[in-house]
Chains A and B, each alone.
Chain A
């Protein structure tokens, strides 16, 4: 099951990330994982949060451009070679990764993938024995 990630547009200037996180903090929204894509004149923040709908609503109210994006999350053990093993399966399933980032849970590590054609990619990954985390599972780690 894919999970919804919040993507937010940021201008490339001081203070914008601060303003974004303040909105989330003020609304008691917890950021589970975060990555930042930067270009010459703008950035996109991608986040997993504990309440994706509330986060998107309050961000829009505060004049941020925000959108949902489906991503796939996989658990890997915290040991050498585990990421490579996972990625090898992506290769075998011919899944193209657009970007990826990671976060550490209490015990294991979690990789977040944005892939081309999420639904089809996920089906092919399932056939390779890979199962991505659901929202409920994500909330527990």
Chain B
């Protein structure tokens, strides 16, 4: 196997990519128009019909989809094929507790797995490799996505899923795993643990890391590479569009190639929705060209980044995106999990508390921490220490089940959370990314 999983596609000249995109877009818009009344109505409201989309140049006429649309259309409103054609869902957290549910046909899964296979090969993986997938398996796209790609490449796949660090390390060492797929914070944690156990980079058989689903800095990359003795590659994706592998890093480690034969990327001004020229920073918008079951057109990712078509020495011609530099909404990514302040607010309200809270995100030993300060009120205050601790635990349990990750609740004095111009400062992110 060479350096490409699908060389003809990955090295196709720009004209060829445009030709594919043009043809697929027209087909996809028709598919959506015919089968998704929710989006058809959005188009009609925007004064566009399927006849108005004659080529790629008309893309900008289509209305955007946002997370709010996913919530409004939950669960089946954006499904474009009969249920008998669907074989799986994946799911991620939504804005106010409603989860995003994305549907897949077998072809959709095949396409997605091609994308992750491209990422593995771009990182240097071959069928000689032993690939340990330590992303969570289940509703989260990380595990299933990389698992499928690993099979396509022909790696021996170790589906450890997340957690149980001791067992992870046992498999890495005993089966001589050469590729590790997980979140960068978990990779850092594994590295630290292995170092404490006395394993140096030369003792660890790993060569390649494919890490994504959360933000990480170049400094963190160098740390992980040094501790584990590997080269670490970024991978990007989102459940709404398919999952990890929408874009991935090549050996250059300078930006992630977007699989443009499957997805059209645009950069827009998040305020006005206007499409921005290449090289300008703005919000990333994806149109999925091949997805049959859940074909989102012009989906706003809320990730802020820049695209470049500068020639890449790896030979791939597909456009590269920078690591997301932030969000145009208030979503936080904590330990690879999407967290919205509104979810925390929902838990507080459900338990009879006022929405006076502050979220403090930090990073200790390369692992994210989530602290939620909640204002004590005279109504909820009791003289009984055990009862207050029990109430605190109810909140922590509620947040855990709403967010899927652990949050530490700290009770603070009434009206002690800083308010600026009458509005509380809800989120303090102390991570240096």
Q: Which of A's residues lie within 8 Å of B, judged by CB? A: 5, 7, 9-11, 16, 37, 39, 41-42, 44, 46, 60, 63-67, 69, 98, 114
Q: Are B378 and A42 in contact (CB under 8 A)?
A: no
A9-B410 in contact given A39-B389, A63-B416, A67-B382 (Cβ < 8 Å)? no
Q: Which 8 A-B pairs have the closest CB atoms?
A: A7-B383, A65-B381, A69-B383, A65-B376, A63-B415, A63-B414, A65-B378, A9-B376
Task: For B385, give its contact among A44, A65, A67, A69 (CB under 8 Å).
Answer: A44
Q: Chain A: which residue is nearest B412 at the CB level?
A: A11
Q: Which of B377, B378, B385, B413 contacts A39 (CB 8 A)?
A: B385
Q: Which residue of A lies closest to B379 (CB)?
A: A65
B385, A9: Cβ atoms closer than 8 Å: no
Give the residue among B383, B388, B410 with the most A Cβ atoms within 10 A: B383
CB distance from B252 to the nearest CB of A (A): 47
Whole-angstrom distance between the alpha carbons of A41 and B371 in the complex?
13
Structural contact, A60 and B383, CB atoms closer than 8 A: no
B413 is contacted by which of A16, A37, A69 (Cβ under 8 Å)? Answer: A16
Other-chain contact of B414, A16, A39, A64 (Cβ < 8 Å): A64
Q: Is the CB of B414 within 8 A of A44?
A: no
Is the CB–CB distance between B411 and A9 below 8 Å? Answer: yes
Q: Does B384 interact with chain A (Cβ within 8 Å)?
A: yes
A66 in complex: contacting residue of B381, B388, B389, CB < 8 Å = B381
Q: Which B375-420 residues have C-beta < 8 A from chain A? A: 376-378, 380-385, 388-389, 410-416
Seen from chain B, the residues whose Cβ lies within 8 Å of a Cβ on chain A are 376-378, 380-385, 388-389, 410-416
Q: In whole angstroms, what is the CA distance A46 to B415 when docked?
A: 21
Residues of A within 8 A of B413 (CB): 9-11, 16, 63-65
Q: Which residues of A contact B382 (CB under 8 A)?
A: 7, 67
* Further pairs besides A64-B414, A65-B413, A67-B378: 6, Cβ < 8 Å: A7-B383, A9-B381, A37-B385, A39-B385, A65-B376, A69-B383
What residues of B have a CB within 8 angstroms of the CB of A10 in the complex?
A: 413
Is the Cβ of A98 less than 8 Å from the Cβ of B384?
Answer: yes
Contact A67 B412 (CB under 8 A): no
How near does chain A come to B391, taking the closest CB pair, in angstroms?
12
Contact B385–A66 (Cβ < 8 Å): no
Kindly list chain B residues whose C-beta atoms are within 8 Å of the C-beta of A46. 383
In the assembled complex, the Cα of A81 lies from the Cα of B281 at a distance in Å of: 79
* A11 touching B385, Cβ below 8 Å: no
Q: List 22 A-B contacts (CB under 8 A).
A: A7-B382, A7-B383, A9-B381, A9-B388, A9-B411, A9-B413, A11-B412, A39-B389, A41-B411, A42-B411, A63-B414, A63-B415, A65-B376, A65-B377, A65-B380, A65-B413, A65-B414, A67-B378, A67-B381, A67-B382, A67-B383, A98-B384
Q: Within the complex, what minimum Cβ distance (angstroms) separates A6 from chain B?
A: 9
B354 CB to nearest A CB, Å:
12
> From A60, which residue of chain B is reached at the shortest CB distance?
B378
